[in-house]
A and B are shown apart, each in its own frame.
Chain A
Amino acid sequence: MEANTRGTGRLPAAFLTPGSSSFMDFLGEHSPELLPGRRTLPPVQGAVQAPHGTTIVATTFSGGVVLAGDRRATMGNMIAQRDIEKVFPADEYSAVGIAGTAGLAVEMVKLFQLELEHFEKVEGAQLSLEGKANRLSTMIRGNLGMAMQGLAVVPLFAGYDVDRGKGRIFSYDVTGGRSEEQGFAATGSGSIFARGAMKKLYRDDLDEQQATTLVVQALYDAADDDSATGGPDVARRIYPIVAVITEDGVRKLGEQESADIARSILERRLEQPDGPRAALL
């Protein structure tokens, strides 16, 4: 498993064999037991109880794309964690938000980040955004066996396409099916409500400020109607994680920035609990 515990301590042949630039491929050849997809679960009755992450939303705007997630993880009807982070930078120009079994999802993200970094170091160039989205697809497909037993991972992938000069969003299903979303997208248990909110609030010419407000509004609406999604927790100072991806790269909003947006929304909702109204016609 570890390089220098074998034989003379020299790099094993697999390390020096020219071949794939993919870390997953290398892992599959050298230490397949470390690949998440290779594990099989013993047969169990019913669903396995494990913390689940919930709602992730994303929207494009004129300069890129915004990806955001609430902070709650649930296990059955319990709140397993109040301050879980579900939005991660995948590399310099993309981020991934996870819904589904938290433990597996975090491991998947870790491997995905490494996969992109490894390729970049070996090849000296970044994968295309499509290429990155496809790699993630493969990883989700590898988890299908677990998904069938209730341990699904369904991420949302957003990135800035440096070739086309715009932000793009990819959504997935449990089988690894991938589809590019226009404008906005959501995944997780609160996604139905979040999508409804975004449908009414989204427009083509959003700027960064408006886009970050939009995603937090959508998360608020999701938390309003879905018990598994957490709203802004003012007492504990737990606010949504928001990542903004532009041609300058991924930037996570600081706690203060995120708090300001959440608080201003909260302020307005005290008068209008259902949030901003869209025109009827």
Chain B
Amino acid sequence: MTTPFYVSPAQAMQDRAEYARKGIARGRSLVVLQYADGIVFVGENPSRALHKFSEIYDRIGFAAAGKYNEYENLRIGGVRYADLRGYTYDRDDVTARGLANVYAQTLGTIFSSAAEKPYEVELVVAEVGATPEGDQIYRLPHDGSIVDEHGSVAVGGNAEQISAFLDQRHRDGMSLAEALKLAVQALSNQANGADREIPADRLEVAVLDRTRPQKRKFKRIVGRQLARLLEADGAASAPTDAASDVEEGEEGGE
């Protein structure tokens, strides 16, 4: 019988976190921003069919960076959770907070269970409110912690740098064109100061638009509408000093 080497729990956790973070960092980053009429999701995605963003419920959207099969699984789990809850109770009883909690529990249990490989994903769950004050954005790192974000959030490979960039420039009440431009700037700004161009057909953009008359607020922005928004002169170079309203939630876990 072989005796396994002793590994301290702290070391084991650190190794698992390292493993998950590396997996997430391989994926392209994406950003989620509040704007005047809702929440916009922007990411670089060469595929038209394999989405990083999707609709969970009427007012709730989902964004994920990392390993596709793992976050796709979580996404479908979330859709099932939301639909079942809405069917059992009422459509109004499905909230981003509830969903984020379930995701956090799921990721946390998987992360700390020695029998399972940690998920290499980082999620964002966002809910658009009736007013900007009612908007909720939750970031869910791989370990099951949960971060309540305001204004802007970035996940994926270069998240820290992009977050810092966004924190300085994002302000409340931006128009969609402004927010979109800022997001693209933030995403293309990453590689050690050198900007690289992201063409419109490699961008995946979706919004949760509170002004939509339908009860389902999620909408993908594609084709001509996207091109028009990217061209719109929104004076997007947001003044840096107006970023005081952006606060970063405290980092949980690890």
**Which residues does A use to contact B, with CB under 8 Å?**
1-4, 8-11, 15-16, 18, 23, 26-27, 30-31, 34, 110-111, 114, 117-118, 121-122, 124
Q: Which residues does chain A contribute within 8 Å of B51, judged by CB atoms?
A: 124
Interface residues of B in 73-92 (CB under 8 A from A): 73-74, 76-77, 79-81, 83-88
SS class, residues of chain B in contact with chain A: helix
In the complex, the number of residue pairs spanning A and B with C-beta atoms less than 8 Å apart equals 73
- Contact (Cβ within 8 A) B83 A117: yes
- Contact (Cβ within 8 A) A16 B105: no
Q: With A9-B101, A11-B102, A18-B73 given, is the CB distance from A110 to B87 under 8 Å? A: yes
Q: Which residues does chain B contribute within 8 Å of A8, judged by CB atoms?
A: 105, 109
Determine which of B80, B101, B102 lies in contact with A26 in the assembled complex, contact meaning CB atoms within 8 Å: B80
- Contact (Cβ within 8 A) B84 A4: no
What are 21 A-B contacts defined by CB distance under 8 Å?
A: A1-B88, A3-B84, A4-B102, A10-B105, A10-B106, A10-B109, A11-B81, A11-B103, A11-B105, A15-B80, A16-B73, A16-B77, A23-B87, A27-B84, A31-B84, A114-B87, A117-B216, A118-B83, A121-B56, A122-B76, A122-B79
CB distance from B222 to the nearest CB of A (A): 12
- Contact (Cβ within 8 A) B54 A124: yes
B98 at the binding interface (Cβ < 8 Å): yes
B49 at the binding interface (Cβ < 8 Å): yes
Determine which of B77, B98, B108, B216 lies in contact with A15 in the assembled complex, contact meaning CB atoms within 8 Å: B77
In Å, the complex CA distance between A8 and B81 comes to 15
In Å, the complex CA distance between A256 and B132 comes to 33
B37 at the binding interface (Cβ < 8 Å): no
- Contact (Cβ within 8 A) B87 A10: no
Q: Which residues does chain A contribute within 8 Å of B81, judged by CB atoms?
A: 3, 11, 15
B55 at the binding interface (Cβ < 8 Å): yes
In Å, the complex CA distance between A265 and B81 comes to 48
In Å, the complex CA distance between A26 and B87 comes to 13
CB distance from A90 to the nearest CB of B (A): 14
- Contact (Cβ within 8 A) A114 B102: no
Q: Which residues does chain B contribute within 8 Å of A114, judged by CB atoms?
A: 83, 86-87
CB distance from B49 to the nearest CB of A (A): 7
In Å, the complex CA distance between A16 and B105 comes to 13
In Å, the complex CA distance between A91 and B229 comes to 28
Chain A CB count within 10 A is highest, among B56, B80, B98, for B80
- Contact (Cβ within 8 A) B77 A11: yes
Chain B CB count within 10 A is highest, among A8, A11, A34, A114, for A11
Q: Which residues does chain A contribute within 8 Å of B55, judged by CB atoms?
A: 121
In Å, the complex CA distance between A217 and B32 comes to 52
Nearest residue, chain B, Cβ from A31:
B84
